[in-house]
Amino acid sequence: MATAGNHRLRVIVAKVGLDGHDRGVHIVARALRDAGVEVIYLGIHNMPEEIVSAAIQEDVDAIGLSVHSAAHLALFKEIMKLLKKNRATDMIVFGGGIVPSEDIATLKKMGVKEIFTPGASLDEIVRFVKSIPARLAKEQ
């Protein structure tokens, strides 16, 4: 079981914006769940405000976003802004989907910890998520 301290590692995964391509996020959610992570899947067509609100209410350790709509820069920027506004910057944000390689550095400057592009293995994603407790401990 993946744990952070005395609680089970909790992650929200969601499709953000108008993107409805959800096969990949379902596969990632299942892999994380099978690895012992508590996964809260918000479904498709979520707005940044809904995702951040749910993340705060659910007291998650991380937010995983899937984006295939080419609006990744604006959507991640809004998520990061809302986390800061709500004093929830201790949540790790990561993402995946169709993100041009030239945009990954910009996203990381915003505070996004990792972007998984097509071809990333499920093992790689699970390893990253399971490393979150150590990442959170370093940032404190």
- For the entire predicted model, the pTM comes to 0.89
pLDDT tens for the chain, 140 residues long, are 454 455 689 999 998 876 667 777 889 999 999 999 999 999 888 899 999 999 999 999 999 999 887 788 999 999 999 999 999 999 999 999 889 999 999 999 999 999 999 899 999 999 999 998 877 777 76
Q: Answer yes or no: are the C-beta atoms of 51 and 42 closer than 8 Å.
A: yes
Domain of residue 93: give its range: 3-130
- Which parts of 1-131 fold into alpha helices (H)? 23-34, 48-58, 72-85, 101-110, 122-130
* Backbone φ/ψ region at 111: left (φ over 0), alpha (ψ -120 to 50), beta: left
Please report whether residue 47 resides in a domain: yes
| CATH number of 62's domain | 3.40.50.280
Kindly state the greatest CA–CA separation across the chain. Answer: 39
Q: How far apart are CA 12 and CA 123, in angstroms?
A: 18
Please report whether residue 55 resides in a domain: yes
